[in-house]
Structure 1
Amino acid sequence: MTIDPSHYRLPDGLFVQNRLQQEGDWHFALTGKFRQRLYAPHQGKLLPPAPARQHDALQEVLTLARYFGQLLYLPPPTLQGEDIGVLLARLQALVQHTPDGAIAAIMLCPWQDYTAQHGINAALLACLLARVLQLPPEEQDSLMLAALCMNLGSATLHNELARHEGPLSTSQRKRLEIHPLVSSALLRELGFASPLLHACVLGHHERFDGNGYPFHLRQEQTSPLAQLLRVIDISTAKLMPRSYRQPVPAQRALAQLYTQSGEQFDPRYTAQLVKLLGVYPSGSFVRLASGDTAIVVAQGEQLNLPLLAPLRELEQRLDADGNIASQLTVQVEARHLQKLGALWPLPA
């Protein structure tokens, strides 16, 4: 599908034009004053060393989210594209070794820096869906990078919004509406120039009905990869807690996405998401018919029949058939993850 780049024009208004300029198709850049203002608080910070590999999927994801939280605010050339590449390679290795562990990490890992954790979770989900959809390698790489960095230009804002309940202020709304443009510009400064990548990042908040932002494009004017990234972004946000609410239970989140298929999302993508996560995603909790609580360890051959581990005896494994009474929402803290992480080990 060929997307006409002429639809991607810099929006009017002084708020936008004081911050961004257009230099070609898909090519947006920060103005000098905005770049200086954006980077000034972070000048002089050093690039931290990449963290050691962890022994299980949960600890690996927590560690990489903390690391990404440090990278988010570094200006180039302190931060370079290859540093992001190292992070993506770690996430790809995790998904390849334990897809169920990747899903469990999305479901279980609490956040300290919301933007960083959201980026890590979205990149994991992007990698999982790209494999299921058998996307070409270039599309897989672009989707995963876009998922990780789509909020690069609004890290502080998204952390504010994760703790914010109620209507947005005028300033928050304006900053939110240009963040795809700023993220694309920052990715260019890191050396990423692929039109496929930038069309994906620039279009991930567009809606089929034209009521999205920043370009107000319709379905036929946005790339399929951007449409897929929108599903990933919204799914990730629903499954993560905010300071003012619990995460949306997986069954409800998937049902909400599924009912909006055809209006806001491509039905193919929501169907694959449901198939990937199952009725009971890995890392979710259920009440057993016995009254005990168990955690889902892995998907079974049928979507509603996962493999379970009772919390009081995590070494034991149960088939779901006849054992699940209901799904539970359980508040998980970082101190619980060391024990739960043993369910999804990683190679030394």
Structure 2
Amino acid sequence: MRIIPTALCQPGMRLGKAIFTEEGQILIGYQVELSSLMLKKLKQLGIHHLYIEDPRTDDIVIQDPIQEETRATVRSSLGKIFEKFSPTAGLSSSSSKNSASLAKAFTDSMSQILDELYERKKDPVMLTMLNMLPPTNMEQHFCQNALNVCLYATKLAMAQGSYNYDELMAIGLGALLHDVGSIHVPVQLLQKSSGLTSSEYVEVQKHVMYGYHMLKNETSIPAIAAQCALQHHERMDGSGYPYSLQGEQIHPYARWVGMLDSYDAMIHARTYRQAIPPHHALEVLYANAGKLYDINMVKLFRNNVAIYPLGLSVTLSNGAEGIVSRLNSHSMQRPVVRILKTPSGQELKEPYEVDLSSTLNVMIEGIGEAAGRVL
């Protein structure tokens, strides 16, 4: 099985995993043969990558950190925030009953996420989708970023080994809801393709205060989740906002969320810039360790996160093309790649593997759409 960008999928390919709606219903079933109409609809829905069957890669098992049904349930809960709050609504526009119901949906979802992550606690931290295209709308961007940061933060907190269940729940909810205040920022600012003016930047910065006020009185949500919303743009050297806090003044959970939010933003495209390769994003984190980000958290990230997920199509620096077939626990950023095409574009009858942890003169240069054509 492989992960292929929807834009590069072709009619006749078969799904390696079912596709679910945000309500958790099957949209297209496992092993269904894709048609041109299906692919067009999937692109319109903002589904940028698909799991595709391929006899050359049948032995590669790709598992999400959480079940697709759980992912769909979380997306649905996040989407309800957009139903509850319009971009121009007041911070207390909805009834306390509706608010309590939404808060319970998030705690129930987070509990399910934790249970599933505990079942596979020893698995590496790995997101199975890297969307290289900008999200088609703000709701899609919000949901994608929220769930990614939540999974990163919760898995890394588990890897650190010093947090109990309730603390993991608080970290997870803080990560899931860290950007909730962005709903109250004018969408034209969030999707602006050019640089923000100083006054526009001030307006965008207000999302941390909006998020704090939205969460602080939610009795079902841990109070620290509101602190994550408030502090996730603070930085270790005091260069962040809204209060220019430094070092230990920033809550550890907010430090986790801030670093992971930055990484997730870098590896995903936005309307105003392209995504950067995961290893470049990791270099940015490391270059700013101790300055912007907690250095111990950056090290834990480096040692535990598989930045190139299994099944991902890649192009190597020598021009060869293949997919990530195995991870190296001793070198998470340099996986084993199964080569399917030569640098000249010739299909290989007998694919071979390159272990990037021992072939140091070769690197991953392109992923997804950047990898060019379907292999």
Quick check: TM above 0.5? yes
- Quote the sequence identity (%): 21
CA contact (8 A) 2:289 2:298 kept: yes
Structure 1 gap segments, 5+ residues each:
1-47, 341-348
Whether 1:121 aligns to 2:128 is no
Where does 1:48-197 land on structure 2 (aligned, <5 Å)?
50-52=23-25, 57=64, 60=68, 63=72, 66-75=75-84, 76=94, 77-78=97-98, 79-92=101-114, 95=117, 96-97=119-120, 99=123, 102-106=126-130, 111-112=135-136, 113-136=140-163, 137-155=165-183, 157=185, 160=188, 163-169=191-197, 172-192=200-220, 194-197=222-225
Distance 1:282 1:130, change over 3 A: farther
| 1:269 matched residue in structure 2 | 297
Distance 1:309 1:74, change over 3 A: farther
Q: Deviations over 1:129-174 (max 9, x none)?
A: 1111114123321111111111111136486455323332455323
Secondary structure (helix, strand or coil) at the match of 1:329 reads strand
Shift of 1:71: 1.8
Q: Deviations over 1:162-190 (max 9, x none)?
A: 53233324553233222222212222454
CA contact (8 A) 1:157 1:172 kept: no
Whether 1:320 aligns to 2:346 is no
> Quick one: distance in 1 between partners of 2:326 and 2:133?
17
CA contact (8 A) 2:338 2:354 kept: no
Distance 1:202 1:173, change over 3 A: same
> Quick one: distance in 2 between partners of 1:298 and 1:80?
40
Whether 1:238 aligns to 2:260 is no
Distance 1:63 1:49, change over 3 A: closer
Distance 1:188 1:274, change over 3 A: same
Where does 1:290-329 land on structure 2 (aligned, <5 Å)?
291-303=319-331, 305-310=334-339, 318=353, 320=355, 325-329=362-366
Q: Deviations over 1:1-24 (max 9, x none)?
A: xxxxxxxxxxxxxxxxxxxxxxxx
Q: Deviations over 1:242-275 (max 9, x none)?
A: 1343311111111111011111111100111111
| 1:8 matched residue in structure 2 | none
CA contact (8 A) 1:129 1:273 kept: yes
Secondary structure (helix, strand or coil) at the match of 2:154 reads helix
CA contact (8 A) 1:299 1:307 kept: yes
AA aligned to 2:296 is R
Larger helix fraction of residues: 1
Structure 2 gap segments, 5+ residues each:
1-20, 31-62, 85-93, 342-347
CA contact (8 A) 1:284 1:328 kept: no
How does the TM-score come out when normalised to structure 1?
0.68
AA aligned to 2:127 is I
Distance 1:288 1:265, change over 3 A: closer
Secondary structure (helix, strand or coil) at the match of 1:105 reads coil
CA contact (8 A) 1:294 1:311 kept: yes
Distance 1:148 1:309, change over 3 A: farther
> Quick one: distance in 1 between partners of 2:267 and 2:116?
20
| 1:205 matched residue in structure 2 | 233
> Quick one: distance in 2 between partners of 1:264 and 1:289?
30
How does the TM-score come out when normalised to structure 2?
0.63
Distance 1:297 1:144, change over 3 A: farther
> Quick one: distance in 2 between partners of 1:184 and 1:233?
17
Structure of greater relative contact order (alpha carbons < 8 Å, 6+ residues apart): 1
Residues paired across the two proteins, number = 288
Shift of 1:234: 0.5
CA contact (8 A) 1:250 1:281 kept: no
CA contact (8 A) 1:298 1:308 kept: yes
CA contact (8 A) 2:156 2:300 kept: yes
Distance 1:104 1:236, change over 3 A: same
Q: 1:217 aligns with which of 234, 242, 245?
A: 245
Over the aligned positions, Cα root-mean-square deviation in angstroms equals 3.9
